[in-house]
Amino acid sequence: MADIINEDGLKIPQHIAIILDGNGRWAKKRMLPRNAGHVQGARNVSNVCRAAYNMGVKYITMYAFSTENWKRPDSEVKALMSLLDKYLRECMKTCKKDNMVLKVIGDRSGLSESLQKQIKEVEDYSAAHTGLILTIAINYGSRDEICRAVNHILSDVKEGKLSSDTLVTEDLISSYLDTGGTPDPDLMIRTSGEQRLSNYLMWQLAYAELYFTDVFWPDFDKKDLEEAIRYYNTKERRFGGLK
């Protein structure tokens, strides 16, 4: 997908993936409980999405809760699940106001029935909208996603939905991933200073530009987003070829 060139001559990535990191440290710095940081981080999602869409970004994918996050203390996990449920409920109004589409990726079978129901309700409600497409990764891990995709392919072969001599290609695997039908991210942003993917979109980020900032997610704003996009503009994306 081609980049959009804005009025300042900047190339605007069509799809940005973000690892929302630093909520707990943001709270600790202010001598607040960790959950206060998660609450503030959730509030920031709409602000960043709106700023990105106004710049011309079409897709944003955010890492909200990983398959590894279950290892955190039960109290924090429960608070995060409650916060996600609350965010999804409030997102109905946001989707309507901003003409936004909401999708969720990850293994839903590990989530409560009420949260699964809320996810489906918001997805169905926003599906016909034509604005920004926001994808939230909940109970998501890239290795888990790839394993589920491969098992789905094997199941479809067994059931006759795919021929037994079907050639496994990149396109086939991509179509079975949670993100099937969505273009791969052009730019990945990770906040809070950590410089790793943490099992996030490892297949999809194969050729994305990676941007790391020390800013904690609750403080990440339009100015920081513009800085990330300016960094993106310093890169010549050749995808292994030459220009």
Which of the residues are catalytic? 21, 69
| CA-based torsion, 197, 201, 206, 207: positive or negative | negative
- The Cα–Cα gap between 126 and 101 comes to 5
Q: Which residues contact 97 (CB under 8 A, 6 or more apart)?
A: none
| CA-based torsion, 50, 94, 45, 100: positive or negative | negative
- The Cα–Cα gap between 50 and 48 comes to 5
Integer-rounded Cα Rg, in Å, for the chain is 18
